[in-house]
Amino acid sequence: MSVGFLLGIIVGIAFGSSATILSPLGDLLLRLLNMIVIPIILFTLIEAVNHLNPGRLGRIGGKVFIYYILSTSIAIILGIIIALFIKPGLGLTLPQADVDVPEAPSFINLLVEIVPENIFTALTEGDILAVIFLAIIIGFSISSMLYANEQKIRDLGHFLVNMTNGGREVSFRILNGILQYAPIGIFAIGASSVGEQGLNTLLSLGKLTIVVYLAITAQVILVYFVLLRLFNVRVLTFMKQTREAIVTAFMTTSSLGTLPLTMKSAKEAGINDEVASFSLPLGATVNMDGAAIRLGASVVFAANIMELDLSFVAILGIIVTGTLASVGTAGVPGAGLIALSIVLNQAGLPIEVVALVAGVDAILGMGATACNVIGDLVGAAIVDKSERKHQMIDNEAANHV
């Protein structure tokens, strides 16, 4: 995949827009990955919930959400600080373009819609939060069947457990087959993306691109690596074990499309299936550190175009609004556009900046998605370490009693 990635960039630079002829090969990889996302989430999460009690699931969920909020807040702060130092946008002018911004869904509606009206619609439309809810409900129901008074119900419970295990195994076997094609797909995506964007667009918005990638690098080193070390995880080994997911995320710019590989990488990194099966699908939908960095940098970019100095209060408002917007709109159509428009409106800046940023959207999206996936994996790793320590303390207390 690394060779395919490098060759794709070389071909994209060499052949320019002509390289887009390869895009169907890249689209095929994305379709294959999206095809296997729902089965992997459904079967792995049902199996994980079978072994979890509600108390432990709630504890894992609480830790995961605290991590998401903190890491996203730090990400947007880094994006703002680096942008204030480098000052992207000075000398640029706003495009004369109308930008249609999708209506932002209310937080209450998002919570309500987690419960699907139709199970099969949730599965076919790929509604990840609804699928997670469905898997948790099914998992606990099967678990209750295993401890029922009637032998017939217990037998049916064991049958469903075996069926779930079989579904999970066949899903990962299909994924292994898809991975054989992945280098070709990544080569095609790299060639067509670089060929279509070209270097001229990148150079015209070069400072913004530099800001975003510097902030992503700072997030990875100062936040993720530090957290891994604090929880006694070997950083280089961890990155080596998860590199497939990170490279795929970078080239496909899709956290959800990369999810099958993210879960496979978590297994290789030794992260407990129960933690990974719950936190990674949720993280692919909700945890958007890379998107938060783009939000922070884009708002400073917009302010510089308008030659406005952002006050401390304005910056604080951007941090709070950007954190909530990146989490609250994640997983809905046009999420990046919605979140950026919300933050720009809050800061009193023109949303036409969205049209300007769109010029390097694909390039920024690559780094941001890779950052999202690294953040998801690090979150799963440190929550798993925390849970192992908690269980060890519980076992020692039980032995003492």
- CATH code, domain carrying 277: 1.10.3860.10
How many other CB atoms sit within 10 Å of the CB of residue 229?
11
Closest CA to 260 of 185, 165, 175: 175
Residue whose pair of structure tokens reads 């129901």 in the numeric block: 141
Has residue 382 got a pLDDT over 90? yes
Which of 78-87, 238-247, 283-292 has the lowest average pLDDT? 283-292
Residue 343 to residue 298: CA distance in whole angstroms: 10
- Mean pLDDT for the chain overall: 80
172 HSE (CA, 13 A, CB side): 12
How many domains does the structure of the chain reveal?
1
Contacts of 150 (CB under 8 A, 6+ apart): none
**Average pLDDT for residues 330-345, to the nearest whole number?**
62
**Average pLDDT for residues 350-366, to the nearest whole number?**
72
Residue 144 to residue 154: CA distance in whole angstroms: 9
Single-letter amino acid, residue 233: V
CB 33 within 8 A of CB 178: yes
CB 281 within 8 A of CB 128: yes
Residue whose pair of structure tokens reads 């209750």 in the numeric block: 144
CB 254 within 8 A of CB 186: no
| Residue 113 pLDDT class (50, 70, 90 cuts) | confident
Orientation of helix 206-218 relative to helix 54-86, angle to 10° = 140
Higher model confidence: residue 323 or residue 174?
174
| Residue 239 pLDDT class (50, 70, 90 cuts) | very high
Segment of 208-217, 277-286, 382-391 carrying the highest mean pLDDT: 208-217
Percent with pLDDT over 90 in the chain: 19
**Average pLDDT for residues 110-120, to the nearest whole number?**
80
**Average pLDDT for residues 348-368, to the nearest whole number?**
74
| Residue 20 pLDDT class (50, 70, 90 cuts) | confident
Has residue 98 got a pLDDT over 70? no
* Residue numbers of the domain that contains 199: 2-400
Segment of 113-122, 178-187, 240-249 carrying the highest mean pLDDT: 240-249
pTM of structure: 0.78
| Residue 333 pLDDT class (50, 70, 90 cuts) | very low
